[in-house]
Amino acid sequence: MLLAAKWVLPVSQESIEDGAVVVSGDKIEAVGKRKELERNYPEEEVKDFGQAVLMPGFVDAHAHLEYSVFRGLCDDLSFTHWKMQVTKKSKKLTAKNWFSSAELGALEAIRSGITCIADTTDTGASLKASRQAGLRGIIFHEVMGMDNSRVGRIISEAKKNVSSWQAEAEGTNLEIGISPYSVYTVSPPLFKAVSDWAKEDNLTVCFHLAGSPDEYEFVKYGSSPLATSFLEQMGWNDLLWQPTGVSPVKYVEQWDALESGKVIVVHCIQVSDADIDILKKYDVSVVHCPKCSAKLGMGVAPLGKFLYRDLKVGMGMDSPASNNTMDMFDEMRIGLLLQRGLEEKVEGLSAENFIKLATLGGAQALRIDSEVGSLEKDKKADLIAVDVSHTHQNPVCDPCSALVYTANQEDVIFTMVGGRVLYEGGEYLTLDKERIIATTKPVRAKLKG
């Protein structure tokens, strides 16, 4: 199959006007000028997207698909109060409800041009939904517990679940990782136990770190609503939590949480230069979630410092519960503008930079950039087509500029993962849109009740 468009954006090289991509099986066979590829591959069926941009699919490096049905339900709350409301309402949902919500998230991901996700879940619903949808990615089994006496039991149960999930993921584009959720839900010995397990079984680890000011206050000073209201809500108020006197990053380093070799941390807003030194020391990947972080009043991450230190950085959208949409165009746009405002400069903060973060950067953060993240020969055929023919986009001089400053998720007209078409021209080829939306309506009613 030869896919053609006005622009091809490989990410790993300059954009190609009047370009094309040849797909053979699940891989990319060639990338270049359309006329040249049509001469070299005369037998290939041609699919012309017209005034559109062909580019790598987006890598959502941090997601919670199963929280999609919470969209708009806990808006206008600070981080801790948002977390408490989501936790409270979550108790109303059954396993079937969680799956319906995850299906809704997978539906939106495909429509939005997301081809790869790194999803954290404790129910496993995201694994089932992602497999059904045909997405690529890593599904992280969430573990929590602040009671040191239960660490052995928590790890034992998690190992059983991970083994079962690995069997379920066999033969798909998905792999399984482990997620000690956060410093306010995971005890120090549990962090260490997860790290030891991950190192032994070569698992990727992902957890939330240094996000909100409340988290920083909780770890360093033993204060903030996380130390009082949240622990009480979780039934952990009888457990002793003493202030550590250090930052969240230093705290997890002290418990070997960064040592397993493949560690991804999410948010990293409340960090110092010394904290960034620690992340660099352990080659930790960072996921930048600008829209979620700003919406919950968490702050703005020092992205420029991460990039200056050459950390692996990807973009994540968290979930519709905190972000409201899974629109990577919006994420790039808001992320770019926030950084320019924070840094009071434009240099080094371009549309092209953010497209790279949302594609190849995410693949690098997940350590799968040898397979996806850019359009190159022999990489997996994970790509999308984005329509840029609208009145609010013309004239288009630079495809990167058009994508970041004018496009949105509704402009995606084609989504392919591993050579398999998942969405094209309004039609979902792996999911039933009407059934999924109908199924989630009573779930939403339950949450609002």
Write down all domains in the chain, each with its CATH number in brackets: 2-56+380-430 (2.30.40.10), 58-365 (3.20.20.140)
Looking at residue 107, its pLDDT comes to 98
What distance in Å separates the CA atoms of residue 215 and residue 218, rounded to the nearest whole number?
Answer: 5
Closest CA to 235 of 69, 50, 88: 88
Mean pLDDT of the 216-232 span:
94
pTM: 0.97
The amino acid occupying position 13 is Q
Give yes or no for a contact between 134 and 173, defined as CB atoms under 8 angstroms apart: yes
Q: Which two tokens stand for residue 20?
A: 């094309």
Q: Which residues of 397-413 are buried (b: 16+ CB within 10 A; e: fewer)?
A: eebbbbbbbbbebebbb
How far is 317 from 327, CA to CA, in rounded Å?
A: 8
- Whole-number average pLDDT of the chain: 97
pLDDT greater at residue 397 or residue 204: 204
Which pLDDT does position 418 carry in this prediction?
98
Is a pLDDT exceeding 90 seen at residue 448? no
Q: Is it the case that residue 429 has pLDDT exceeding 80?
A: yes
Contacts of 225-229 with C-beta under 8 Å, sequence gap 24+, read 225/80, 225/81, 225/84, 226/80, 226/184, 229/80, 229/84
260 near 238, Cβ under 8 Å?
no
Integer distance in angstroms from the first to the last C-alpha of the chain? 50
Band of residue 348 on the pLDDT scale cut at 50, 70, 90: confident
Residue 197 phi, psi (nearest 5): -65, -45
Of all residues in the chain, the percent with pLDDT exceeding 70 is: 100
- Is-contact 349 364, C-beta < 8 A? no
Say whether pLDDT at 276 is over 80: yes
Once rounded to an integer, what is the mean pLDDT over residues 189-195?
Answer: 97
Of the candidates 299, 304, 276, 280, the one whose C-alpha atom is nearest the C-alpha of residue 289 is 299
Average pLDDT over residues 118-145: 98
pLDDT band at 301 (very low <50, low <70, confident <90, very high): very high
Separation between Cα atoms, residue 214 and residue 179, nearest integer Å: 21
User: How many CB atoms sit inside 10 A of residue 236's CB?
Assistant: 17
Residue 374 near residue 115 (C-beta atoms within 8 A)? no
- Does the structure show a pLDDT above 90 at 219? yes
The alpha carbon of 152 is separated from its chain's Cα centroid by a whole number of angstroms, namely: 30
